[in-house]
Amino acid sequence: MSDRFNRVCHPGKYIKEDLEDLNMSIKEFSLRAGISERTLSDLLAGKGNMTFNIAKKLEDYFNISAETWMALQTAYDNYLCEEENNIERENDYNAIKKYKAYLIDNNLINGNESNEEMVDSVRRNICVNQLCALYNCDFGVVYKEQKNQKGDPFAKNFWIAYALTEARKIETPPFNKNELFMSIKEIRRLTTLSPKDFIPRLKEIFTRCGISFVYIPYLKQSNIYGATKWLSSDKVMLAISNRNERADVFWFTLFHEMAHVIFEHKRYYLFQGADIKDERADALAQDFLIDNINYQEFVKRNVFSEASISIFAKEEGILPMIVIGRLQKDGYVSYNKSFPNLYAKYDEADLRDSFRKVQ
């Protein structure tokens, strides 16, 4: 390309300069070059794009190759694209910078990148080309969130995008509802184990059932406990977080999402717990975790001591904290920390590290 064209400009700028040097109007040049006046006006104003047909006519008139004119358009387009990308990267960085600790903890960035590299790493790891699109998007998942709390749309959609990306990496056989039903009792028994023991087994069970099971650590302000989505007609994602860190919440959320899978709720939004399908999932989760007849007999006795709760939990084969959580929800006990010896919570790092070991 000639030294004259070493600036990154719209090709129309060079045509305009030539016409000024020739003291030629657009109308006259239109007649001489065989290019419509309107097309030329747009081109000279930087609004139109160079086409090969126009470039060939300019080649014939100015004796400058069509390839040169097309190269000028390409260089200008690349310049605009890079400028737009820089703005998008800056906006994306502003969207994620407050989550830097979370991104490092989850290996989405290494913490030593520049701002631009940080954005590129996150985009690549959650498979979203423009992170700001997460402010307003729809992934079509069924998710459980805290009642009467809206949460931050960006954080919510970031968590969902992250979960979907991880779930799609998992290979499973076709979904088998009967296999899932047959596994419920074993999953209940896992509640008495520590994360390092129950996470690997949960992973095995769900994979066998055709479920892509992922644990995605809770992202502040996302307000999400868990989510499900059918990735295909015979493969489903079940994602769970550790919001509140309470063991009873973790297990109730897991069984709640299992219920959505069993009911095959493929697209239903759950706002403020009012949706009837969400209520069905809640009810089934309760029945899965604690036999309802046995539970009613237990509460009739109206003795809610650590000893009585421990005995009942052992009879049911579940974690005592699950019984405490149910009693609190039903209004029989005021606060679960009234039972300090039975209170159980899961450290997010333990869950995350336990899950990583089986990935």
Q: Which of 56, 91, 126 is the last residue of a domain?
A: 91
The answer to whether residues 126 and 18 belong to one domain is no
pLDDT at 276: 59
220 in the same domain as 116: no
How confident is the model over 191-214, as a mean pLDDT? 96
If you search the block for the tokens 């860190």, which residue do you land on? 245
Q: Is the pLDDT reported for residue 259 higher than 80?
A: yes
One domain, residues 15 and 129: no
Q: What share of the chain is helix, strand, coil (3-state, %, to 5)?
A: 60, 5, 30
Of the candidates 135, 150, 166, which is a domain's last residue?
Answer: 135
Task: Using pLDDT thresholds of 50, 70 and 90, give the confidence band for residue 1.
Answer: low
Q: What is the pLDDT of residues 135-153, one digit of tens each?
A: 998 898 988 887 777 789 9
Domain boundary among 135, 152, 169: 135
Task: Count other C-beta atoms under 10 Å from residue 277's C-beta.
Answer: 15
pLDDT score recorded for residue 337? 81
Identify which has the larger pLDDT, 267 or 79: 79
147 and 63 in one domain? no
**134 compared with 278, residue with greater pLDDT:** 134
In which element (H, E) is residue 287 found? helix 276-289
Report how far residue 177's alpha carbon sits from residue 262's, in angstroms, rounded to the nearest whole number. Answer: 7
The pLDDT score that the predictor gives to residue 271 is 41
CATH number, domain of 69, equals 1.10.260.40
What average pLDDT does range 49-55 have in this prediction? Answer: 95
Q: What is the total count of domains within the chain? A: 3
Average pLDDT for 217-223:
94
Strand order of the sheet with strand 224-232? Answer: 142-145, 224-232, 235-240, 211-215
Mean pLDDT on 202-206 = 96
- If asked whether residues 166 and 314 sit together in one domain, one would say yes
321 and 332 housed in the same domain: yes
| Pair 51, 190 in one domain | no
Distances in Å between the Cα of 20 and the Cα atoms of 28, 44, 219 are 12, 12, 60
Instruction: Provide, rounded to the nearest whole percent, the portion of the chain with pLDDT above 70.
Output: 95
Cα dist from 51 to 10, 19, 73, 251, whole Å: 13, 19, 9, 62
Q: Which tens digits make up the pLDDT trace of 286-310?
A: 999 999 999 999 999 999 999 999 9
Q: How confident is the model at residue 274 (pLDDT cuts 50, 70, 90)?
A: very low
Same-domain pairing of 100 and 87:
no
**Do both 148 and 228 map to the same domain?**
yes
Pairing of strands 235-240, 211-215: parallel
Token output for 302 = 């109206």
Residues 228 and 347 in one domain: yes
Pair 50, 161 in one domain: no
> Which residue blocks in 106-246 are alpha helix, DSSP H?
115-126, 153-167, 177-189, 195-208
Residues 189 and 304 grouped into a single domain = yes
> Which pLDDT score is estimated for 277?
66
Residue with the two structure tokens 């697209």: 267
**With b meaning 16 or more CB within 10 Å and e meaning fewer, what string describes 77-91?**
eeeeeeeeeeebbee
* Domain extent for 43: 3-91
Q: What is the mean pLDDT of residues 213-240?
A: 94
